[in-house]
């Protein structure tokens, strides 16, 4: 395995805390409740236009290579409305009650049937009765009953769905599969009945709903951000010259998994030296040297929700004078952006504040001559919504309580830049996850040290990995 360069580090990745109980039940019991998902469906239905139907497909099983599939990841919209993490399923939400297969209602769920032979290999399939019991869903049928005669599109004015944008018809699948069959039927019904596919309306409703987190979602976000912050703290303590970027990644992701994370929220970024200046550097192969910075943009995913935290630290535990100057300029920009995180302000205002600070600072340092050049060294936005997706759905209008998004200014000065060489290879990003409250904001990731003094102090603490 490339993650561990020595048997000792490999052992340390396994042994710590194994005796400490992390939960009191056999399986986690803090998933979103059936009432949450039912409430989200009701909220969607309230915003639907008259005589419309919403159609949401589960994700497809994708082939990685030969007979190996990628680990299954559910469609976030389908998960948001159902909680179900199985493939080959489709959800129908009608504005007005209809009758399908002898059942009358607004919501219908088609799922895969039980299959004892398959379950022996891949685990239990809930089936119709299991879905009804676990998710308190009333109208559930096996997916083989989804056919052209199932749905009467004659009385429907519009179809709300993003399925044509969600790559349902991928060639990276095992054919034939029920999901593609149901998508083909849906597509033919839309064409046959000449019904408009209201993609923009669908997207607008989903952004409105998913952009404001409900109390149950906020609890999960606080948990996943906390376990992510623990990973960053341990990397601060453990990193030293002679380590590789992938060893820092291994330590980070071990802490995520140790604290209950099912996945990483996105491919971990652990760039040192010149790699700090590559925004989405993911290979993580370089040997780290004294005098390097390490930029770690890493976070956990928990019950479908992802954090997104970045910290930039000195590999030897001490910032150089030039690194400190750039770091504290980015920190000042982030603090300025935080002040704009309050209800009523536009989503773009934190970025505008951060850009002003960085532009003025780079001019003051002689790195640029005019504010128009600042994008050379700060080329990305400061914020994006956060939740079920790392770049989650949400609007860019006035901020509202319940919105969760990142605040992540950065400066990146790669070798060869048109400035004094002393600034080369300095890439700094500081990223925190912010919840808008009734009176302002809460920094959910504040537990991860972010000032120069705090980081250098943390670097002196003993790590479980050294």
What are the domain boundaries of the chain? 34-209, 212-459
Distance between CA atoms of 332 and 350, rounded to whole angstroms?
Answer: 12
Nearest to 162 by CA among 124, 219, 194, 201: 201
Give per-residue pLDDT as tens, 91-112.
Answer: 999 999 999 999 999 999 999 9
Cβ(227)–Cβ(261) below 8 Å: yes
The whole-number pLDDT of residue 23 equals 66
SS3 270: strand
* Closest CA relative to residue 276, chosen from 249, 248, 295, 296: 295
Partner residues linked to 91 by β-bridges: 56, 109
Instruction: Look at residue 171 and tell me whether its pLDDT is greater than 70.
Output: no
Query: What value, to the nearest 5°, has the Cα angle with vertex 95 and ends 92 and 99?
Result: 65
Residue 398 DSSP label: B
Burial of 435 (0-12, 13-18, 19+ CB in 10 A): buried
CATH number of 212-459: 3.90.230.10
Alpha-carbon span 438 to 417, nearest angstrom: 43
DSSP per residue, 342-371: STTSBTTHHHHHHHHHHHHHHHHTTS-SSG
Residues 258 and 14: their CA atoms lie apart, in Å, by 9
Q: At what angle do helices 349-364 and 321-338 cross, to 10 degrees?
A: 150
- Output the six-digit token pair for 120: 């022996």
User: What global pTM score does this model have?
Assistant: 0.92
| Alpha-carbon span 234 to 221, nearest angstrom | 20
What is the model's pLDDT at position 453? 98
Task: Report how many helices (DSSP H) and strands (DSSP E) the chain contains, helices first.
Answer: 12, 18
Bridge partners (DSSP) of residue 406 are 433
Place of tokens 């960085």: 358
Comparing CA positions, the residue from 132, 60, 136, 57 lying closest to residue 93 is 57
> Do the domains 34-209 and 212-459 sit in the same CATH topology, yes or no?
no
Residue 21 confidence class, pLDDT cut points 50, 70, 90: very low
CATH number 3.40.350.10 is the correct assignment for the domain at 34-209: yes
Average pLDDT over residues 106-132: 96
Q: Is residue 76 within 8 Å of residue 162, measured between CB atoms? A: no
The contacts of residue 143 (CB under 8 Å, 6+ apart) are: 88, 89, 90, 110, 111, 112, 113, 178, 182
Determine contact, residues 264/298, Cβ cutoff 8 Å.
yes
Question: Mean pLDDT score of the chain, rounded to an integer?
Answer: 92
Residue 24, number of CB atoms within 10 A of its CB: 6
Q: Report CA torsion sign: 253, 255, 257, 259.
A: negative
State the pLDDT at residue 76. 96
pLDDT of res. 183 = 85
- H or E element, residue 130: helix 127-135
Residue 419 has pLDDT above 80, yes or no: yes
* Backbone dihedral angles phi then psi of residue 363, each to the nearest 5 degrees: -65, -45
What does the block give as tokens for 273?
Answer: 């030296």
The per-residue pLDDT for 15 is: 41
Give me the pLDDT at residue 153, please.
79
């Amino acid at each position: 395995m490339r993650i561990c360069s020595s048997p000792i580090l490999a052992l340390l990745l396994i042994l710590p805390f194994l005796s400490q109980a992390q939960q009191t039940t056999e399986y986690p019991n803090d998933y979103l409740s059936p009432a949450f998902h039912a409430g989200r469906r009701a909220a969607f239905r309230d915003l639907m236009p008259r005589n419309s139907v919403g159609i949401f497909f589960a994700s497809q099983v994708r082939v990685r290579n030969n007979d190996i599939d990628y680990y299954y990841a559910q469609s976030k919209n389908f998960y948001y409305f159902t909680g179900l993490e199985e493939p080959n399923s489709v959800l129908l939400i009608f504005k007005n009650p209809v009758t399908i297969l002898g059942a009358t209602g607004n919501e219908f769920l088609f799922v895969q049937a039980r299959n004892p032979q398959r379950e022996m290999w891949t685990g239990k399939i809930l089936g119709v009765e299991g879905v009804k019991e676990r998710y308190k869903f009333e109208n559930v049928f096996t997916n083989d009953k989804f056919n052209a005669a199932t749905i009467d599109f004659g009385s429907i004015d519009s179809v709300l769905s993003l399925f044509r944008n969600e790559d349902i018809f991928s060639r990276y699948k095992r054919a034939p599969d029920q999901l593609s069959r149901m998508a083909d039927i849906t597509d033919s019904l839309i064409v046959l009945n000449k019904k408009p596919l209201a993609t923009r309306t669908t997207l607008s409703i989903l952004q409105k709903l998913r952009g404001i987190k409900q109390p149950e979602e906020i609890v999960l976000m606080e948990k996943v951000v906390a376990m992510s912050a623990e990973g960053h703290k341990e990397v601060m303590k453990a990193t030293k010259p002679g380590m590789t970027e992938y060893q820092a990644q291994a330590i980070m992701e071990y802490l995520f998994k140790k604290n209950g994370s099912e996945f990483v929220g996105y491919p971990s970024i652990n760039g040192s030296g010149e790699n700090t200046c590559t925004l989405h550097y993911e290979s993580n192969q370089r040997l780290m040297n004294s005098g390097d910075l390490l930029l770690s943009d890493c976070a956990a995913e928990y019950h479908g929700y992802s954090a997104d935290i970045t910290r930039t630290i000195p590999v030897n535990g001490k910032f150089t004078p030039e690194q400190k100057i750039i770091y504290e300029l980015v920190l000042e920009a982030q603090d300025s952006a935080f002040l704009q995180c309050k209800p009523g302000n536009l989503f773009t205002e934190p970025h505008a504040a951060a850009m002003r600070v960085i532009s003025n600072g780079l001019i003051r340092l002689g790195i640029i001559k005019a504010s128009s050049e600042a994008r050379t060294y700060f080329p990305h936005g400061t914020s994006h919504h956060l939740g079920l997706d790392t770049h989650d759905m949400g609007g860019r209008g006035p901020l509202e309580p319940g919105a969760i998004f990142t605040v992540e200014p950065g400066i990146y000065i790669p070798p060869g830049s048109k400035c004094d060489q002393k600034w080369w290879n300095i890439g700094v990003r500081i990223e925190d996850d912010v919840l808008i409250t009734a009176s302002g904001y809460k920094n959910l990731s504040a537990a991860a040290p972010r000032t120069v003094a705090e980081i250098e102090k943390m670097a002196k603490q003993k790590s479980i990995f050294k």
